[in-house]
Structure 1
Amino acid sequence: MRGLFSVAAIFILFARCGEEKINLTYKDQLAKDVSLIDEYLASSNVTAEADTSGLRYSIVTKGSDFKPQLVDSIQVNYSLFLLNGDSIFTKGQNTFLLDKLIRAWRIALPLVGENAKLKLFVPSGLAYGNYRTGPIPANSNLIFDIELKKVIRDYATQLTRDLVTIDAFLLSKNIVARKDAANLRYVITSAGGSTALAPLLTDSVVLTYTAKSLPTEAVVEPEVSKGLKLNARSTLPAWKIVLPLFREGTKATVYVPSGLGYGAYGNSSVAPYVNLIYEVEVKKVIRK
């Protein structure tokens, strides 16, 4: 899979590689390409939308309202064909940064949402241009069949949105919270003893907590009692940041942006991009 990903990335990301070069002005080549694509569509009885760039596209399934922006990453399945029908390859479950892809993808993908299916009819200048790229000849018009499986929001963009939501929630509830440098908000409702241990990242912590979604306050994880190794890869970033601030016996409420929780993928009980409220008690710090 790693090798397949690398090959796919080369085709998608790098428009100017290889040695074969055929010189035509961009305008003349585009006019030629669009004419060929429109002839193909007419002869195939395919109805497609026309973008002013010359791109033709057909949205098979529009998908959800969660659409990618150029700063986001996208997870896709896709197939690539030459306009004459020759298959170049089919790739599954690849993840790309949208802003690094060929221009045709940058134009079309923001038009649809997660789980969309679309077909692109791409003039060569919106793909790999007048250079040969692997098995793709220079000045090739292309057809992409794309399934947009997932939009992975740019962390900074999503964090800004999350903090607006969290701060509006706190304001509506008249809650004054402390702010961590990593943008966690928290309120200590009962501090641990002054001589009690505060965990280090090398420690383990036994805690109980209840998790709720924010802003709905719907319970997504009823009261849980568990032990965590703070430096384990599976431990949420939020726990790694906030628990070293709490001594044994501390009770607190923590308001977690989605990127410090379950992020773009969620889990069995938490949907993607859900901000969380944790009502937590640190029961014990285990230091070896």
Structure 2
Amino acid sequence: MTAQITKIARPVLSALLAAALTLFIAACSDKDDKTKEQQTEKQKVKEQDVSTSHKIHTTDSGLKYEILTKGTGASPTAEDTVTVHYEGSLMDGTIFDSSYKRGETISFPLNRVIKGWTEGLQLMNVGSKYKFTIPSELAYGEAGGGPIPPNADLIFTVELFAVESAKDAAKKEAALQAEAEQASKTAKAEGEKFLADNKSKSGVHTTASGLQYKVLLEGTGKSPRATDRVSVHYEGTLIDGTKFDSSYDRGEPIDFGLNQVIPGWTEGVQLMKEGAKYKFFIPSDLAYGPQGSPGAIPPNAALIFTVELIRVN
């Protein structure tokens, strides 16, 4: 089993389409009656109100922005972390990214995104909603990126929900790091105690590496080598019984190279014969170690696997 590492990707950022509303007012002839003239005047006022309600501004860099809603909260600096909702589109209206569609806001340091975002969001206050039109040189330039063509100007609608200062973000990060380190130490100690107690239980065998196993059902087929591919059914849990993965739940076994998984599996499955079912108790250093597997396996966690060896390929 290979650990999946979550990546924090920077958000795909885009800009605002500056579409100026042009007024088309028909000239009235001398023969128009008074009612028509009044209707025309009302229409003029209405269109003028629309055209001036969201004035388009342009900065020295060429960034254009339109204030849809003006907030009253703090404004970020380039070093701050911001929390936003956004939608990005090309100039033809094609949407290429949207936090709204994902149903959750996104947070990131403002100095780690495209230049148009770094500049534009500093103009906003918490509670604001702006539309940005970002020239390609302030976006992804000649390289483009993913769904964004080279030299593409971009349109973004952005809502600013929160600003966290660099100092506060650093404090939070330090606190989270300290918490993670403590959790890692606790998991390691709990795993070592579990394995020490488990070692003396009936039917449990321990190899020189510290891997523990129990034969639930012995097989009669061939045993694999580390370079073989195998087909297995399995279930994995933490030592407290929390299940984090199961091929049984998916309804089909998995096939993999035995030298492409955690060391505890590479060693343990070689002890089995086709048709066997073993239970493995794997120390953290033979599993995912200090890194763990984000979202599923904590750092330094000992693991328990029940494995059926179906076939050696």
Q: After TM superposition, is the score higher than 0.5?
A: no
Structure number with greater Rg is 2
Give TM-score scaled by structure 1 length.
0.42
Q: Which has the higher strand share?
A: 1
